[in-house]
Amino acid sequence: MKHLDLDTSIKNYWRKANEALKAKKMDEANDLLDYCLVILGTATLRGNVELGGVRVDLWKERVWYSIENNGFLID
Rounded mean pLDDT, 51-64: 96
- Predicted confidence at residue 2, as pLDDT, reads 56
Amino acid 1: pLDDT: 42
Fill in the amino acid letter for 38: V
Domain boundaries, the chain: 26-75
- pLDDT of 45 strictly over 50: yes
| Whole-angstrom distance, CA of residue 26 vs CA of residue 72 | 9
Three-state DSSP string of the chain: CCCCCHHHHHHHHHHHHHHHHHCCCHHHHHHHHHHHHHHHHHHHHHCCCEECCEEHHHHHHHHHHHHHHCCCCCC
